[in-house]
Amino acid sequence: MKIHTGEREEARERLLEWLKPGDTVYTILRHVSASGMTRHISVVKPYVREGDGEIDFLHLDYNVARALGEREARNRLGGRDGIKVGGCGMDMGFHLVYSLSRALWPEGHECIGTGCPANDHTNGDRDYTPHHHNDGGYCLNQRWL
User: Angle, nearest 10°, between helix axes 5-18 and 92-104?
Assistant: 100
Instruction: Decide if pLDDT at 18 tops 80.
Output: yes
Instruction: Decide if pLDDT at 137 tops 70.
Output: yes
Q: What is the pLDDT of residue 1?
A: 59
Distance from the Cα of residue 72 to its chain's centroid? 14
pTM of the model: 0.88
**pLDDT band with cut points at 50, 70 and 90 for residue 92:** very high
Over residues 108-137, the mean pLDDT reads: 81
CA distances from 117 to 98, 112, 130 (A): 11, 9, 14
Over residues 37-60, the mean pLDDT reads: 95
Over residues 60-66, the mean pLDDT reads: 96
The alpha carbons of the chain give a radius of gyration, in whole angstroms, of 16
Q: What is the pLDDT of residue 2?
A: 66
